[in-house]
Structure 1
Amino acid sequence: MTEGKGKGKGYTGRIVWRSIRQEAASVRRSARRCVTEAGPERDTAVQSLKAAGAALLAWALAGWWWNAPMALLAPWTALFLVQRTVYRSLVSGLQQFAVVVTGTLLAAGAGALTRNTMAAMALALPLTVLLGNYARFGAEGLYAPTAALFVLGYGSYTGFDILHRLLETLLGAVIGICVNAFVLPPVHSRNVRRLRGRLPEECADLLHTAADGLDGPYDREQALRWYDRAVWITDVVTELRSARRWSDESYRLNPGHRMRRSLSPPPQAEWDLVWDRIAEDIRATTRTLTEVTVLPDGVPGILATLLRAAGDVLAAEEGDRTEAAETAAAAHGRLTRVLARGHAETTPELGGLTADTQRLLDDLTTPLVTTRPHRTESKAPATPS
């Protein structure tokens, strides 16, 4: 029993050591990418350095030059207001200042009323914690009880002390917002462009893979793998929506976004909706393929031609795209005729495939689909197998 326990500890130690090495290797890769290429790693490093610089500047003004009694509040506020976007910094600054003012006044009132630190905390903290959980304040609500603790913990809540705390908080907020707005103001359009190029490539590759599988004998396991990839593509569309929101927000109230290098304007928002439909059409088609028990003779070959041509519409150059669309439409016509004949071997799944592929071809004719994405320097993540 003791020997087994020893082996168990040794195995656990090897797992922990392997995890540490993997994490260290990941950190090294991120640090290298931060230096060698533009991307999220570099953006994170820039924002981190800006936040540290804002805190240092706030401390220099409040603690060293002004010699404020609670100088810590200025760098503390500045540090957390270098947000991901300028708009977010401004909104968070207003929310945080309102929360800090309220929490400070509640704590000062409780201290003046009770003249006892413990009693004042018992009175003020429940109120400030409830205020901090108010949904309108979001994550900034935490600063209400924090501000109350600062006031009561230092035991100074005269009118002069309270005014100093509010001025120090305001100073830190102004510094944090200004640093974020005027020192390399963040613009988040790179991810929108990356996903814009990613979606057509992934959809075309999946359609070609399914077509190759239908050309020969395929089983349900293959169809399930196609379906899993189709579901993953719908997740990419969701990621695109999130990236779009960050991109749009990063341009709001941003005085310096024109100074940042930009490869091209982000695609219009209607593009997202079109690709949401296309991804759903592909997901529905592959889901039906997982449910197929038997298809009439010749139908797998027709489907293979249709899906391969649909993939070519996404992957081909302008001159070849029209020909690919005509090939897909002709294959769909043959599929419809097989369904219309209504032979005994016709299955309910064939009707579903006919409807799914018709919606796919309709969406592929949308003009926004033919807009060629701009290539970016960002590397796309690996496709799931």
Structure 2
Amino acid sequence: WSLGLIILASLVVGRLVRAGEFVAEVAISAMLVLGVTQVASTAWDRVLETLIGAVVGLLFNFLLAPPVWVGTAGRSVEDLARRMRQLLLRMGEGLTDPIPVERAASRLHEARRLDDDIGEVDAALRQAEDSVRFNPRVKEGPLHRVVLRTGLDTLEICTVVLRVLARTLTDLAKERTGEPLFTPELGTALEDLLARVADAVVSFAVLVAAEVSSNAETAERRLAEDLAAALVSRDRLAGLLLEGVRRHPRQWQLHGALLAEIDRILDELDMERRAGRLLEELDRAAREQRERHPRTAAFRQWARRALPRRQRR
């Protein structure tokens, strides 16, 4: 019962001092201290060793600043977008010719393998997030984390939609063996739209990486141009699809699915949508920070209010 009480008390103390993921280590330290004969001296030795380790770690980080992996994470996001672009371009090849089901299915398998690439980029982002946390070289660590994380979330949604798009083309190839998937005019329009969507995906990734550097304005302008061109091509394809379905209503639902999936990708890449998502994530991060450290947040708020009065004096 004494061991149970010391574990319970240690967990409560860990919560009160907001030890976070190290709450369990507080209880472990308490059990180690309880298990030895010289309790008082061992407890003080444990505290002293902890303080020495903390001071050494802080001095090491100030004298030899740890590396920042934000740039590497940004490049990994761009690499993912370029792989998505290559897949979109391959999906747009030969749409006016008979496409073997095996070739269409291979595009579907490539789209499914993008999940592995998402996992690699996520690991790079976690490394970048750890490198900016409590790093004296980084002044806007939370902003970098939110920008990269929301960018990866958007690309992950796009990969899911891209996988569905590849599945729709595979179903069309199964239904139309030995004949072209689309008429020459319709196939050319769809190939052009897929190419413009591919360019927009890369421009979005460049914008995500540029928002943590100095080239954000150029990247934003390029993304706006690519999205505008894609929307024009999309409207042209929608008219051609409608006319084609009226003349030949075979598999009309698959034609509508193609257009809906492309619309979803363009909607995810929209800049206003991204700006709103960034603001939401930044507000949520600030709110969590205030809830986690209410006294620090109250002191900062008081300091911001007191600073103008001092300046006026």
Class of the TM-score when normalised by the shorter of the 2 chains = 0.5 to 0.7
Aligned-pair identity (%): 23
Q: Decide whether aligned partners of structure 1 residues 147 and 138 sit closer, same or farther in structure 2, where only a CA change above 3 A counts.
A: same
- The runs of 5 or more residues in structure 1 that have no matched partner are 1-121, 259-264, 370-385
Give distance in 1, aligned partners of 2:28 and 2:229.
66
Report the counterpart of residue 256 of structure 1 in structure 2: 137
Q: Secondary structure at the match of 2:167?
A: helix
> Which of 175, 193, 200 is the aligned partner of 1:294?
175
Q: CA deviation at 1:257?
A: 3.6
Kindly indicate whether the alpha-carbon contact (under 8 Å) linking 1:208 and 1:311 is maintained by their aligned counterparts in 2: yes
TM-score, with length taken from structure 2: 0.57
Q: CA deviation at 1:173?
A: 2.5
Q: Decide whether aligned partners of structure 1 residues 187 and 151 sit closer, same or farther in structure 2, where only a CA change above 3 A counts.
A: farther
TM-score, with length taken from structure 1: 0.48
> Which of 152, 156, 159 is the aligned partner of 2:35?
152
Could you list the per-position Cα deviations for residues 258-291 of structure 1 after superposition, in whole angstroms to 9, with x for gaps in the alignment? 7xxxxxx789455445434433331221122233
Q: Secondary structure at the match of 2:95?
A: helix
Report the counterpart of residue 179 of structure 1 in structure 2: 60
Q: Decide whether aligned partners of structure 1 residues 300 and 129 sit closer, same or farther in structure 2, where only a CA change above 3 A counts.
A: farther
When Rg is computed on C-alpha atoms for both structures, the one with the higher figure is 1
> Which of 153, 164, 169 is the aligned partner of 1:284?
164
Give distance in 2, aligned partners of 1:337 and 1:288.
20
Q: Secondary structure at the match of 1:175?
A: helix
Letter in 2 for 1:310: L
- The runs of 5 or more residues in structure 2 that have no matched partner are 204-221, 275-313
Give distance in 2, aligned partners of 1:128 and 1:331.
66
Report the counterpart of residue 155 of structure 2 in structure 1: 275
> Which of 350, 358, 361 is the aligned partner of 2:263?
358
Kindly indicate whether the alpha-carbon contact (under 8 Å) linking 1:211 and 1:307 is maintained by their aligned counterparts in 2: yes
Letter in 2 for 1:144: A
Kindly indicate whether the alpha-carbon contact (under 8 Å) linking 1:285 and 1:353 is maintained by their aligned counterparts in 2: yes
Report the counterpart of residue 77 of structure 2 in structure 1: 196
Report the counterpart of residue 337 of structure 1 in structure 2: 243
Aligned residues: 239
Q: CA deviation at 1:202?
A: 1.1
Q: Are positions 1:306 and 2:190 aligned together?
A: yes
Letter in 2 for 1:212: E
Q: Secondary structure at the match of 1:299?
A: coil
Q: Secondary structure at the match of 2:236?
A: helix
Report the counterpart of residue 294 of structure 2 in structure 1: none
> Relative contact order (C-alpha < 8 Å, sep 6+): which is higher?
2
Give distance in 1, aligned partners of 2:146 and 2:187.
32
Kindly indicate whether the alpha-carbon contact (under 8 Å) linking 1:191 and 1:243 is maintained by their aligned counterparts in 2: yes
Could you list the per-position Cα deviations for residues 85-106 of structure 1 after superposition, in whole angstroms to 9, with x for gaps in the alignment? xxxxxxxxxxxxxxxxxxxxxx
Q: Are positions 1:212 and 2:93 aligned together?
A: yes
Report the counterpart of residue 106 of structure 1 in structure 2: none
Q: CA deviation at 1:189?
A: 0.4
Kindly indicate whether the alpha-carbon contact (under 8 Å) linking 1:200 and 1:315 is maintained by their aligned counterparts in 2: no
Give distance in 2, aligned partners of 1:354 and 1:232.
23
Q: Is the helix fraction higher in 1 or 2?
A: 2
